[in-house]
A = this chain, B = another copy of it.
């Protein structure tokens, strides 16, 4: 616990990806056990598009890493972006915390930092989609603890019997 507490103080946020990060993010996503192979391939694809297209990309990445030079391998990331053809709506596509770093509040701090940046870019509201499966109860608990509320349900979306739950959060002006 002591080590985590030190890391909590020393966390840094990075808004650029280097090539080595792609494998780190994919491995971290696989290891959580919460994502399908297709979803991991999409993380990889979006990470590459962010590296090659930079600010032109529709997707932004924000990484959380320990704040010491000897060990800057990210242990959490969020992928998000403005929703095309909307004015001020953003989507949180992924937020993943390395399984060894979960339960220490890093996901919540990463989400807070992402919200701060989205607000600074004129964002009004964040949407995200998650599954109705029991497996994702802890995921939904995390979003609710971060202040997201379930706004709608799309029945049989992922497959027959598995709905899509759309959560959202209104960003308050500071």
Contact = CB atoms under 8 A, between A and B. Distances in A.
Contacts of A153: 152
B85 A156 contact: no
Contact of A87 (B152, B154, B158): B158
**Main SS of the interface on chain A?**
strand
A157 interface: yes
Interface stretch (A2-10, A25-33, A36-44, A73-81): A36-44
Interface of A: 36, 38-39, 42, 83-89, 124-125, 127, 151-160, 166, 168, 170
A85 B126 CA distance: 21
Contacts of A88: 159-160
A153 B168 CA distance: 12
29 contacts: A36-B85, A38-B84, A39-B85, A83-B157, A85-B158, A86-B157, A86-B158, A86-B159, A87-B159, A87-B160, A88-B159, A88-B160, A89-B156, A89-B157, A89-B159, A124-B156, A124-B160, A125-B157, A127-B154, A127-B157, A151-B155, A152-B152, A152-B153, A152-B154, A152-B166, A154-B166, A154-B168, A155-B168, A156-B170
Nearest to A86: B158
Contacts of A170: 156
A139 to B, nearest CB: 15
A79 B71 CA distance: 47
A56 to B, nearest CB: 13
